[in-house]
Structures are given as structure tokens and as C-alpha cells.
Amino acid sequence: MDRPAAPAPAGPRPVRLVDRLLAAGTALAVLAGTVRLGGRLDLAGAVPLALWLGLLLLVRCRWPLAVLLLSVQAVIVFRSSGLTDAGWVWPASAAYVALAADDRPGRPGLAWAAGVGLTELAFAATWESASGGATPREVLGSLGTEALWLAVLLAAAAAYRNRLRWRAELDGRLLRAAREGELEAGRRIAEARLEIARELHDVVGHTLTVVGIQLRVAAESLDDSPLEARAALTTAQQVRSEAVRDLRALVHVLRAPGEAPDDPAAGVAQVEPLVDRMRSAELDIGLETSGDLAAVPAPVSLAVHRIVQEALTNTVRHARASRADVSIRCDRGRVEVDVTDDGRPPAGASGGSGHGIRGMDERVRALGGDFSAGPDGKGGKGGEGGEGGEGGGWVVRASIPVPRFRP
């Protein structure tokens, strides 16, 4: 069995732009501060100290404590050697802040920064007193200013660290609230599904049970008591109607607000009654069907019915046509629907932007088919003297694949 490959060691962390800017700013600040306070600016003292303090800040994010210790050590060495007369604390201000603001778990950066600062001030007081170069009052004033500056640095770093902690806590609360919201939504969805399953079980189970009993009663009494059989069938029909009404109401609740429920009885078989209902003295409608339409699955059958319904509705409302023809063919794994008329195109429908046309297109494409609607290139079938013939005719075509079709 092969051993899993060991993870590759992480490469060195790239130096961020902010660290580079901080390093350059610290080096310039040490040089400018030395000049501003009247110190010596030479190549053997302030210049190398400034460069060293700046270079150390390039790795402050990885080793903040080491950067502060090396910075303080450099200041002490240069001051005690007489190479520079810059301050004790302020040259390492950035290193103090970097350590005190470190908010990573298990790293008490603020305590370490305060301890190192107090140690440095104690050494500075001892060295200033032993050197005899300044009076006790001057030493006290100088170190008092350094101590005040150290306190300001630590306070600013603590405020920044507390702000980071507050933001992290706030983000954590928001994340927990979002997760709790998702869990609550999932719980409500599960309860809704359980309620729907319960309703379906009650409606369908009760209906099938009652209808089965009534059908058995009707079958047993059909020869001996036709009236009793008829009453049983009437009861079964009533229960079935109530169940259909309850199921329609349940489906309507599950739909989006404002969406009308589809008629579950609509299909290819109901196209002929639909055509018969829409015939009139002003509009003659022809219907031609071919192929095994009984093999068309329910979603495709419903789509065919809705396409014919919407196309003929547009013809009646807008086309002023005298003749319309409906053709439904099922062959070679597809159902093809053509609805043509000899009237004028619907107003504003030259680009296929009508709501009805868009709805037919979306319905067909959802089933993987092709849809088109536009002027009839043949000029319409009833153009001889008919009023609608002047419009050139309009044709709606849809081709929908039939899954697992067997010719």
C-alpha cells in the first residue's frame, strides 16, 4: 500500500506592500526625528540604526516579539556606544505597536510590549544616571516623555486590537445567526413537506378506499339491485370530485402567488373539443392529426393543448381571420404542432414579444423543443376575397421531442 505523499512545506510568506511602506517610513522617521531633535546624523550611527529598524519590520507579522527585542537591543547598543543620541523608545515605535496589536490566540502581545518597554526605560534610567552626562532633572524629563510616548503607543495598539476582536465577534454572531436561519428554514421546509405528505395521504388514501368500497358494492349489486349500484357509483363520483377539488387547492397553494393552476384534464385528447368550442360563423377551424398521439407523455400533451389554445385565442382576438388550421403530428420521436390562419399578424407581435407568444416559447423550450411564430410565407390559405387574407396569414410552429418514443 502506497503511503500518502507528505504535504509540501509552505514557502516563505511574501512581504506585503504595507510592510514595505512601514519599513521605509520607519527608516525615514528615525533619520528625520534625529535631525529634528538636534542629534547627530552620520553614517556610523543614525543611518545604520534607521536601516536596521526598518528592515526588521519586514518580518513583523511572522515574528513580532523577535522584531521588538532586536529593535530595542539595537537602540540600546547604539545609544550606550555613543554612536547616536536618538531617543530610547520612539525609534522602535512601530515594533512596539506591531507586538501590542497582535491579537492571535496564545500570544499576549500587549503584556510583552509593556514589559519590554518598562525594561528598556529602566535600563535607560540606569545608564543615563551612571554616565553623568545629564542632570537628574534632565534625565527625569527625558525618560518621562519616553514613558508617556510608550503609554500612548500601547493604548493605541490596545484600542486597535479591541476593535479587531469586536469585529471578529460581530462576524461570528452574524455567521451563527445565518446558520441558525438556515437551520430554521430547513426545519420549516421539512415540516411543510411532512404536512403536504400527510394531506396527500389523507386525501388520496381516503378517496381510494371509499371509491374501492363503492365500486365493490356496485359490482356485487349490479344484477340484483341496479338502483343500489347506481347509488354506489354516484357516491364514488362525488368522493372523486371532492378529492380532485382538494388536490387542486393543495397544488394551488404550492404554486407561486398569482400563478393560475393548469387544468389537469388538458391534453392532446382535449384538442378536438377545444377546436369545436372555438368554431364560429366568422372563423372556420380545421383539425388534422396523425401518429400515435396516445403515446405522448402528459407534459408534452399538456404543452400541445396549451399551444393550440393560445394560438387560436390570439387568432380569435387579434387576427380577424376567416380560416384557421391546426395540425398535430407525432412521428420520429417528436410531436409537431402547426397553427395557421389567414388573418393579420397580432399587434406588436412582429418580433415575437407578446406575452402569449413568450409563454408558448418558454413552455416548448422547457421541454427541449423548438418554437417559432411569425407571418406565413405562403400568404395565408384563405386569402381569396377574405377580409383576413390581406394580412398575409400567421403561423405558430412547435416541435417537441417525445422521450422513449416508439413508432
Digits of tens for pLDDT over the chain (407 positions)? 444 444 444 444 566 777 788 778 777 877 777 777 666 666 767 778 778 878 887 877 788 888 888 888 888 887 777 777 777 887 888 888 888 887 676 667 778 888 888 888 888 787 777 776 667 777 777 778 888 888 888 888 888 888 888 888 888 888 888 888 888 888 888 877 776 776 666 567 657 766 777 787 788 888 788 888 888 788 778 777 777 777 776 666 665 555 555 555 578 888 998 888 888 777 899 999 998 888 888 888 888 988 998 888 888 877 788 899 999 999 888 999 999 998 877 655 444 445 678 888 888 998 899 999 988 765 444 333 334 445 568 899 999 998 765 54
Q: Which three cell numbers stand for residue 177?
A: 445567526
Exposure letters 47-79 (e unless 16+ CB within 10 A, then b): bebbebbbebbebbbeebbebbbbbbebbbebb
pLDDT at 67 (0 to 100): 83
Q: Which three cell numbers stand for residue 140?
A: 527625569
What values do phi and psi take at 187, rounded to 5? Answer: -65, -40
pLDDT at 336 (0 to 100): 94
pLDDT at 37 (0 to 100): 67
3-class DSSP assignment, residue 288: strand
Query: Do the beta carbons of residue 153 and residue 93 sit within 8 Å?
Result: yes
Pick the CATH number of 268-401 from 3.30.565.10, 3.40.50.2000, 3.30.1330.10, 3.40.50.300: 3.30.565.10
> Where do the domains of the chain lie?
17-133, 220-254, 268-401
What's the CA angle centered on 56, arms 50 and 57, to 5 degrees?
95
Alpha-carbon distance of 193 to 383, in angstroms, equals 56
pLDDT at 9 (0 to 100): 45
- Furthest C-alpha separation in the chain: 134
Task: Identify the CA nearest to 333 among candidates 308, 300, 359.
Answer: 300
Q: Which three cell numbers stand for residue 206?
A: 381516503
Task: Identify the CA nearest to 108 among candidates 169, 168, 147, 154.
Answer: 154
pLDDT at 329 (0 to 100): 93
CB-based burial label for 34 (10 Å; 0-12, 13-18, 19+): buried
pLDDT at 407 (0 to 100): 47
Alpha-carbon distance of 378 to 216, in angstroms, equals 59
